[in-house]
Amino acid sequence: MTHSEGDGGVSGPSLMFAATPLNTRNHRLQWLFRALFGLMTLILVVPVGIIFGVLLVRGGPAISFEFLFSYPSDGMTAGGIWPALVGTIWLVAVSLVASVPVGVAAAIYLSEYASDSWLTRGINLAIINLAGVPSIVHALFGVGAFVIFAGFGTSILAASLTLAVMTLPLVIVATRESLQAVPMAFREACWNMGATRWQTIRTVVLPNAISGILTGVILSVSRTAGETAPIMFTGAAFFFPFLPTSVFDQTMAMAMHLFVISTAVPGAPDELKYGTALTLITLVLLMNAGSIWFRSYLRGKKKW
């Protein structure tokens, strides 16, 4: 390395590592966009934290064993939320049983079997349009298709099937994207070994796409547990002082119960309303947390 004679500075090969104006500008742009994206994330996260904090402060005192495991009383101005809590779990479980197999099967057909034709393009357009239909329209469809035409009456089954139709696009889109993310080389390697298309899908494609499929399931759980309009006319009861014993029973639901005590029950204490909202959000977070943990576990087992 050579030294300059005048000021003792470093010159020669070391100048090759000095930042150029282009490097400096790129670093500034990188810092600017990082700050911008960080600010956008903060804007999304802060309101959620504020909402949860308010619910925790105002609804936390209402949370107790009696509140969670007792029935509403005194005209729903006191007591607990046990029937609504159990009913919500019923609705979410039956809805997932109905929507996930159908959604995954539809996504497998569109991604692995169907060719690019006017029919498949029409199906994709219908899926996109179905995702944008307002929930009240799904409620009216559920009344006509499941309550009246299928003869299920106002029941858990009718309400869950309505929710399944509403969340079906989420499952299809998430599953299709995860299937298409599996490298084509995996399929070609199986085909070269003599495996059929279905054997390749069952043993290679689906196991590597399961984490992405669970993303659709997580979104479905969140939307199913928080919807009110689709179940209001198809299976949710204003007050049902019994636990459901089959899918043909009516049931209370957390979202419906919160709507009722907030708008139709005079004299309901604010602590009861905020406690119900806090329980609903916590239930959804726990379901999502379990699904996210399982998805992360499966993602960690990937070989690519």
Judged against a pLDDT cut of 70, whether residue 292 lies above it is answered with yes
At 16, the pLDDT band (50, 70, 90 cuts) reads low
Looking at residue 124, what is its pLDDT? 85
Placement of tokens 């609504």 in the chain = 84
At 304, the pLDDT band (50, 70, 90 cuts) reads low
Judged against a pLDDT cut of 80, whether residue 26 lies above it is answered with yes
Q: How far apart are CA 128 and CA 134, in angstroms?
A: 13
Q: Which one is predicted more confidently, 12 or 24?
A: 24
Looking at residue 225, what is its pLDDT? 87
- Local structure of residue 230 (DSSP, 8 states): H
- The stretch 1-19 carries a mean pLDDT of 54
Instruction: Count the Cβ atoms, other than its own, within 10 Å of residue 10.
Output: 13
Looking at residue 241, what is its pLDDT? 81
pLDDT digits (tens, 9 = 90+) for 158-184: 999 999 999 999 899 989 988 988 888
Looking at residue 152, what is its pLDDT? 92
pLDDT digits (tens, 9 = 90+) for 235-271: 888 888 888 889 999 999 999 999 999 888 888 888 8
At 69, the pLDDT band (50, 70, 90 cuts) reads very high
Judged against a pLDDT cut of 80, whether residue 77 lies above it is answered with yes
Judged against a pLDDT cut of 90, whether residue 36 lies above it is answered with yes
SS3 of 31-57: HHHHHHHHHHHHHHHHHHHHHHHHHHH
Sign of CA dihedral 135, 221, 48, 30: negative
Do 257 and 38 touch, CB atoms closer than 8 A? Answer: no
Judged against a pLDDT cut of 60, whether residue 6 lies above it is answered with no
At 74, the pLDDT band (50, 70, 90 cuts) reads confident
Distances (CA, A) of 144 to 23, 113, 129, 132, 208: 64, 33, 20, 20, 39
Q: Which residues pair with 251 in a beta bridge?
A: 236
Least Cα distance to 278 among 297, 252, 254 occurs for 254
DSSP codes of every residue in 86-155: HHHHHHHHHHHHHHHHHHHHHHHIIIII--SSHHHHHHHHHHHHHHTS-HHHHHHHHIIIIIIIS---SS
pLDDT digits (tens, 9 = 90+) for 272-284: 999 999 999 998 8
pLDDT digits (tens, 9 = 90+) for 108-138: 999 888 888 888 888 888 888 888 888 899 9
Looking at residue 17, what is its pLDDT? 62
SS3 of 157-192: HHHHHHHHHHHHHHHHHHHHHHHHHCCHHHHHHHHH
Distances (CA, A) of 32 to 5, 24, 26, 102: 40, 12, 10, 45
Phi and psi, residue 193, nearest 5°: -85, 0
At 15, the pLDDT band (50, 70, 90 cuts) reads low
Percentage of residues in the chain having pLDDT higher than 70: 92
At 301, the pLDDT band (50, 70, 90 cuts) reads low
Judged against a pLDDT cut of 70, whether residue 139 lies above it is answered with yes
Looking at residue 24, what is its pLDDT? 82
Q: Which two tokens stand for residue 226?
A: 């928080």
Distances (CA, A) of 275 to 11, 157, 222, 250: 70, 28, 19, 24
Judged against a pLDDT cut of 60, whether residue 59 lies above it is answered with yes
Q: How far apart are CA 164 and CA 141, in angstroms?
A: 12
At 12, the pLDDT band (50, 70, 90 cuts) reads low
Percentage of residues in the chain having pLDDT higher than 90: 37
